[in-house]
Amino acid sequence: MSASVRFFARKILPLIADIEVHGDVSKLPKGGYMLASNHLGRLDSLVVYYVIDNDDLIHPLTDKYKKQFLARIVASWLRVTWLTRGQADMKAIREFITRLKNGGVMVIAPEGTRSKTASLLKAEPGAIYIASSANVGIIPVALTGTEDADVVSRLKKFKRLKITITAGDEMYFPPDIKSVKGAERDALLQSSIDEVMCRIAALLPESYRGYYKDFPRTQELLKNK
């Protein structure tokens, strides 16, 4: 199934979009890591196949989309793992951890929802819990040009999409969270996901940085670019 999605991404997407890839994706490991990106639109997941060769791409998706017929078809095509909305779905989380340990690549948007303004929202720390539990690193990825409104507007006018994919140069390894509990663990999880999001923000144009625009860590990363 992944081969057909990859074929579509690499053969069909270039027919409707100019795609720029920044960062040396050839240095990405074969598997056993997480890709964390900003979430702009429905094309985000498909774009990942343009650069990733791994056949076990792990896609979490909230179960609210199960009500939509087209969403179910696309979800089946992408082999998504459904997440129960509004609660910690431990069955799905255990699946993510197992597949990561076995060499899968998890594609996740820590914001949890598409940004209606295209700028970064405050992220939830679930990605850190999963990556730490699986003992894998996280590569920040910044996307532009996949906003739903922009995609629809351009296609209606028969204009080509302008998509950029920027991968961070360094993998972030989250801290071991097993040794801390309660409020201390919550704070550690949040500070760790904020670090990932600041790295994403530093890869994005200023108008996309949103919630993380003025974080001191974002400004530090920008100065060191």
Domain holding 64: CATH number? Answer: 3.40.1130.10
Residue 114: give the domain boundaries: 2-223
H/E stretch holding 48 reads helix 44-48
Per-residue pLDDT of 153-182, as tens digits, reads 999 999 999 999 999 989 999 999 988 899
pLDDT of residue 1: 57
Confidence (pLDDT) at 100: 96
Q: Which stretches of the chain drop beneath a pLDDT of 70? A: 1, 86
Residue 203 and residue 184 in contact, taking contact as beta carbons nearer than 8 Å: no
Per-residue pLDDT at 103? 95
Which pLDDT score, from 0 to 100, does residue 205 have? 97
Cα 167–173–179 angle (5° rounding)?
Answer: 155
Domain count, the chain: 1
CB 49 within 8 A of CB 5: yes
Classify burial at 87, counting beta carbons within 10 Å of its beta carbon; exposed 0-12, middle 13-18, buried 19 or more.
exposed
